[in-house]
C-alpha cells in the first residue's frame, strides 16, 4: 500500500507531466490530460484515483518519473489503511452534475422563477392574441414548455415559453385552417427540432459572428421597449407615476438589500398600492380571460394524410428554424451572462420535446425567451429549478389564484420589462462603432435595422450572417498575391501563387497571368496556396488551356492533397478531351 501522495489543493501547486510545478487549482480538481484526481486531504475512508503515473519520494507524477535530482513537492502522508485507488464512478459525476444543475442555487432559483412566472402571464396572453387564439393556448404552452425544458434543455437558467416571434409565423395558419392545425403544426415542429438535435445542427452557431449576436441583442432590447409603448400612450398620469415608482424600486432596492429580487418587490408593492387605493389603471385581467382549469391531454383533430402534411409542413419548418435560431442565440447570451457553457445540440432536442408536450396539451409552439431569461439571470436564477418553478408557479397563479393575478397593474410589469430592455441592450456597442472595424459595425447595425423593421429575428440574423460571410470572403480574397520570375534565357517564367484561391479571388488569379508573352514553358507554383471550390478549379483550367493554345507548356507544381483531389475530380486541363480540343483547333 502506498504511504503518501502529493497534495493538490488551494495551497499547493499542481504536478504536471514533466514533474514541474504549474498553476494552482482548487480542491478535487482533475490533472490535465491524464485525468488524475487528487483530493487535498485523505482520511481513512478517502481514496486517490489515478490512470498512469509514478510515485517518487512520495509525490505523484504523471507519465515518466522526473529527474531524481529535481526538486519535488512536499508529500502529505495518509493512513496506510486508506481504500485502494479507484476512479470516481460515472454515478458520482452524474450526482455532481444533478446537484449543480438543480440544487446549487435553490433560493435564488425559486425567487427568480416566481418573478419570471409573473412576467410571463401578460406576455403569454399578448402572444396568444397575436396568433389569433384563445389566451389559454399561450398560457398552457408557456407552462408546458417551461417545465419540460427544465429537464430536457441544454442551458440551465434559460427560460422558454410562448414567444412573439413564433406567434407571428402562426397567424396565417390559424386564420386559414384553425386551432387544430396549429396544434398539429406544433407537434411537427417538435419532431423537426429533435432531428436538428440528433444531427447536431446546434454546432452551426459557431458560424454566427459576435457582431450578429450583438445586433440581435440590441434589436431585441429595442423590440421589448417598443412593446411597452402601448401601455404608456394615451394613459393617465397615474400610470407614469406607477411605472416610475416601479423603476425606482427595481434599481434602488439592490443598494439596500439583495435578499429578494427587486422586480418581485416591485410587482408585489405596486399591486398592493393599486388595490389599496383603488386605482383605475390597466391590469393583467384587462389583457384577456385567464383559464380556470388544468390543461388536459388531447390529440389534434385533423386528418392524418398527405394533404394535412402539405398544409402544416411549411409552417412547421419555419417555426422550427425561428425557434431554434432564437433559442441558440439566447443560449449564447445566457452563456455570456453567467460565464458558463451550454449544450446547443441538447437544447435543440429539448426544444422539440417541449413543443411536442405543448402540442398535446393544447398549447402553441414556443422557444427560448431572451427577455425572460435575462429577468431570470438578473433575479439570481442559474439552475434548472428556476425554469421548473416559473412554469409551475405560472399554472398555479392563472388557475388557482386568478382573481389576485388579474389585479396586478400592467405598470408594474412594464417597469420590469423596461429594466430588461435597458439591461439587455449592449451600450458598449455604441461606443465601439468608432473603434471596431467598419465591416463589424455594418453587420451589427444591419442586423438591428432588419429585425426592428420586420419584427422578425430570423430575417435579421440571416442578413447579419450573410453580410459577415461576404465581408470575410472579401477580406480573405485580399490576402491573395502572385509573384513571377523570368529565367535568364527568356523562355521560361515561373509564377508563384500565395493565398487562398476561391470564388472571390479566382478572377484575380486568372488576370495575373500574361498570355501574350512569348514563352516556351510556364511553371505555376501553388505550394503556398489552396484551391477551395469549383470556381477556383475552373480558373486554373482557364489559365492552363489558354497557355496551351499559345503553344506554351504548363507545369503545375506544389498542389496540396486537398487541392489535388478537387482538381482531379473537377478539372479538365489534365483530361484527354482537353488535349483533343486543342488538337482540333
Strand 521-531 to 492-501 pairing: parallel
Which grid cell sits at 78?
495518509
Complete DSSP assignment for 385-416: HHHHHHHHHHHHHHHHSHHHHTTSBHHHHHHH
Query: What ranges make up the beta strands (E) of 340-491?
Result: 367-368, 481-486
Quote the CA–CA distance of 427 and 423 in Å, as a whole number. 9
- Is pLDDT above 70 for 375? yes
Quote the CA–CA distance of 199 and 349 in Å, as a whole number. 10
Q: How many CB atoms lie within 10 A of CB 408?
A: 22
CB 223 within 8 A of CB 420: no
Instruction: State the DSSP H helix or E strand holding residue 491, giving kind and residue range, or none if neither.
Output: none
DSSP 8-state secondary structure symbol assigned to residue 425 = S
- Is pLDDT above 60 for 58? no
- Is pLDDT above 80 for 36? no
CB 54 within 8 A of CB 65: yes
- Is pLDDT above 70 for 416? yes
Quote the CA–CA distance of 37 and 88 in Å, as a whole number. 8
- Is pLDDT above 70 for 483? yes
- Is pLDDT above 50 for 13? no
Strand 481-486 to 492-501 pairing: antiparallel
Three-state SS at 461:
helix
Unique residue bearing C-alpha cell 396549429: 182
Query: What ranges make up the beta strands (E) of 464-516?
Result: 481-486, 492-501
Unique residue bearing C-alpha cell 402572444: 127
Q: At what angle do helices 106-131 and 262-277 cross, to 10 degrees?
A: 60
Give the pLDDT confidence of 255-279 residue by residue, as tens digits.
Answer: 988 778 888 889 889 999 999 999 9
CA nearest 491: which of 540, 552, 443?
Answer: 552
Print the SS3 string covering 280-303: CCCEHHHCCCCCCCCCCCCCCCCC
The percentage of residues in the chain with a pLDDT greater than 70, rounded to a whole number, is 82
Low-confidence winner among 336-350, 447-461, 525-539, 566-580 (lowest mean pLDDT)? 566-580
CB 386 within 8 A of CB 113: yes
| b (16+ CB within 10 A) / e for 153-188 | bbbbbbbbbbbbbbbbbbeebbeebebebbbbbbbb
Quote the CA–CA distance of 171 and 263 in Å, as a whole number. 32
* pLDDT at position 441: 92
Q: What are 4's strand-pairing partners?
A: 77
Q: Which fold has domain 481-584?
A: Transcription Regulator spoIIAA (3.30.750)
pTM here is 0.68
Quote the CA–CA distance of 547 and 553 in Å, as a whole number. 7
Unique residue bearing C-alpha cell 440581435: 216
Low-confidence winner among 1-15, 114-128, 139-153 (lowest mean pLDDT)? 1-15
Determine the average pLDDT of the residues in 138-153: 94
Low-confidence winner among 10-19, 362-371, 448-457, 459-468 (lowest mean pLDDT)? 10-19
Give the pLDDT confidence of 545-561 residue by residue, as tens digits.
Answer: 999 998 899 999 999 99
Instruction: State the DSSP H helix or E strand holding residue 463, giving kind and residue range, or none if neither.
Output: helix 457-477
Quote the CA–CA distance of 169 and 455 in Å, as a whole number. 11
* pLDDT at position 419: 84
Model confidence at 20, in pLDDT bands (50, 70, 90)?
very low
Unique residue bearing C-alpha cell 523562355: 491
Compute the mean pLDDT over every residue in the chain, rounded to the nearest whole number.
81
Model confidence at 353, in pLDDT bands (50, 70, 90)?
very high
Quote the CA–CA distance of 113 and 458 in Å, as a whole number. 28
Distances (CA, A) of 148 to 116, 153, 388: 16, 8, 8
* pLDDT at position 91: 63
Q: What are phi and psi of 484, to 5 degrees?
A: -145, 150
Determine the average pLDDT of the residues in 178-193: 95
Model confidence at 577, in pLDDT bands (50, 70, 90)?
low
* pLDDT at position 312: 94
- Is pLDDT above 60 for 120? yes
Give the pLDDT confidence of 295-306 residue by residue, as tens digits.
Answer: 889 999 999 999
DSSP 8-state secondary structure symbol assigned to residue 231 = G
Determine the average pLDDT of the residues in 424-435: 88
Three-state SS at 583:
helix
- Rounded to the nearest 10 degrees, how much is the dihedral formed by the CA atoms of 191, 134, 323, 209? 180
Length, in residues, of the chain: 585
Quote the CA–CA distance of 168 and 132 in Å, as a whole number. 10
Q: At what angle do helices 135-152 and 344-360 cross, to 10 degrees?
A: 140
Alpha helical stretches, state H, 99-134:
106-131
* pLDDT at position 89: 56
CA nearest 133: which of 322, 362, 304, 410?
Answer: 362
* pLDDT at position 65: 41
Low-confidence winner among 61-65, 321-325, 445-449, 503-507 (lowest mean pLDDT)? 61-65
Low-confidence winner among 29-33, 284-288, 337-341, 565-569 (lowest mean pLDDT)? 29-33
- Is pLDDT above 90 for 584? no
* pLDDT at position 29: 35
Model confidence at 243, in pLDDT bands (50, 70, 90)?
very high
| b (16+ CB within 10 A) / e for 200-237 | ebbeebeebbebbbbbbbbbbbbbbbebbeebeeebee
* pLDDT at position 585: 45
For the chain, the domains span 1-88, 108-447, 481-584
CA nearest 394: which of 286, 284, 298, 299?
Answer: 284
- Give the list of residues 6+ apart from residue 154 with CB closer than 8 angstroms, or none: 202, 331, 342, 343, 344, 345, 346, 347, 348, 350
Model confidence at 93, in pLDDT bands (50, 70, 90)?
low
- Is pLDDT above 90 for 413? no
- Is pLDDT above 80 for 73? no
- Give the list of residues 6+ apart from residue 112 with CB closer than 8 angstroms, or none: 261, 375, 376, 377, 379, 380, 381, 386, 389, 390
Q: How far is the first Cα of the chain from the last one, in angstroms, to the nearest whole number? A: 87
* pLDDT at position 532: 92
Which grid cell sits at 352?
422539440
Model confidence at 462, in pLDDT bands (50, 70, 90)?
confident
Quote the CA–CA distance of 294 and 113 in Å, as a whole number. 20
Amino acid at each position: 500500500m502506498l504511504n503518501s501522495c502529493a497534495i493538490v489543493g488551494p495551497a499547493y501547486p499542481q504536478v504536471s507531466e514533466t514533474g514541474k510545478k504549474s498553476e494552482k487549482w482548487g480542491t478535487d480538481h482533475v490533472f490535465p490530460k491524464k485525468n488524475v484526481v487528487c483530493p487535498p486531504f485523505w482520511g481513512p475512508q478517502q481514496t486517490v484515483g489515478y490512470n498512469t503515473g509514478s510515485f517518487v519520494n512520495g509525490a505523484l507524477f504523471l507519465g515518466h518519473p522526473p529527474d531524481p535530482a529535481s526538486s519535488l513537492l512536499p508529500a502529505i502522508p495518509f493512513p496506510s489503511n486508506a481504500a485502494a485507488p479507484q476512479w470516481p464512478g460515472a454515478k458520482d459525476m452524474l450526482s455532481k452534475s444533478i446537484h449543480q444543475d438543480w440544487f446549487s442555487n435553490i433560493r435564488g432559483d425559486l425567487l427568480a422563477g416566481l418573478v419570471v412566472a409573473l412576467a410571463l402571464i401578460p406576455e403569454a396572453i399578448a402572444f396568444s392574441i397575436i396568433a389569433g387564439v384563445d389566451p389559454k393556448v399561450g398560457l398552457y404552452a408557456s407552462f408546458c414548455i417551461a417545465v419540460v425544458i427544465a429537464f430536457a434543455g441544454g442551458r440551465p437558467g434559460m427560460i422558454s415559453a410562448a414567444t412573439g416571434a413564433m406567434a407571428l409565423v402562426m397567424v396565417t395558419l390559424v386564420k386559414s385552417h384553425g386551432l387544430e392545425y396549429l396544434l398539429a403544426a406544433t407537434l411537427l415542429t417538435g419532431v423537426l427540432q429533435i432531428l436538428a438535435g440528433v444531427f447536431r445542427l446546434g454546432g452551426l452557431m459557431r458560424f454566427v459572428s459576435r457582431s450578429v449576436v450583438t445586433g440581435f441583442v440590441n434589436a431585441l432590447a429595442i423590440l421589448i421597449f417598443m412593446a411597452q409603448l402601448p401601455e404608456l400612450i394615451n394613459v393617465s398620469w397615474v400610470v407614469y407615476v406607477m411605472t416610475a415608482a416601479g423603476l425606482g424600486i427595481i434599481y434602488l432596492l439592490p443598494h439596500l438589500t439583495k435578499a429578494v429580487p427587486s422586480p418581485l418587490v416591485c410587482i408585489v408593492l405596486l399591486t398592493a398600492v393599486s388595490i389599496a387605493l383603488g386605482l383605475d389603471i390597466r391590469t393583467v385581467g384587462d389583457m384577456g380571460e385567464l383559464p380556470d382549469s388544468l390543461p388536459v391531454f388531447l390529440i389534434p383533430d385533423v386528418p392524418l394524410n398527405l394533404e394535412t402534411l402539405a398544409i402544416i409542413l411549411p409552417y412547421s419548418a419555419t417555426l422550427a428554424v425561428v425557434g431554434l435560431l432564437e433559442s441558440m442565440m439566447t443560449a449564447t447570451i445566457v452563456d455570456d451572462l453567467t460565464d458558463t457553457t451550454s449544450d446547443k445540440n441538447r437544447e435543440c432536442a429539448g426544444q422539440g420535446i417541449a413543443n411536442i408536450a405543448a402540442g398535446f396539451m393544447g398549447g402553441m409552439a414556443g422557444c427560448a425567451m431572451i427577455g425572460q431569461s435575462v429577468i431570470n439571470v438578473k433575479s439570481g436564477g442559474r439552475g434548472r429549478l428556476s425554469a421548473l418553478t416559473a412554469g409551475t408557479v405560472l399554472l398555479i397563479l392563472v388557475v388557482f389564484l386568478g382573481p389576485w393575478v388579474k389585479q396586478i397593474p400592467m405598470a408594474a410589469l412594464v417597469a420590469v420589462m423596461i429594466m430588461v430592455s435597458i439591461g439587455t441592450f449592449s451600450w458598449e456597442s455604441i461606443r465601439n462603432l468608432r473603434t471596431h472595424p467598419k465591416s463589424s459595425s455594418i453587420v451589427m447595425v444591419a442586423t438591428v435595422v432588419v429585425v426592428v423593421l420586420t419584427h422578425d429575428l430570423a430575417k435579421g440574423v440571416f442578413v447579419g450572417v450573410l453580410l459577415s460571410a461576404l465581408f470575410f470572403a472579401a477580406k480573405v480574397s485580399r490576402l491573395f498575391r502572385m509573384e513571377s520570375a523570368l529565367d535568364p534565357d527568356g523562355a521560361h517564367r515561373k509564377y508563384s501563387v500565395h493565398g487562398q484561391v476561391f470564388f472571390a479571388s479566382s478572377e484575380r488569379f486568372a488576370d495575373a497571368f500574361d498570355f501574350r508573352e512569348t514563352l516556351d514553358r510556364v511553371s505555376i507554383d501553388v505550394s503556398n496556396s489552396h484551391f477551395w471550390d469549383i470556381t477556383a478549379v475552373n480558373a486554373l483550367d482557364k489559365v492552363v488551356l489558354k497557355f496551351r493554345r499559345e503553344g506554351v507548356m504548363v507545369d503545375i507544381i506544389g498542389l496540396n492533397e486537398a487541392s489535388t483531389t478537387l482538381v482531379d475530380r473537377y478539372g479538365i486541363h489534365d483530361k484527354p478531351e482537353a488535349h483533343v480540343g486543342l488538337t482540333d483547333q
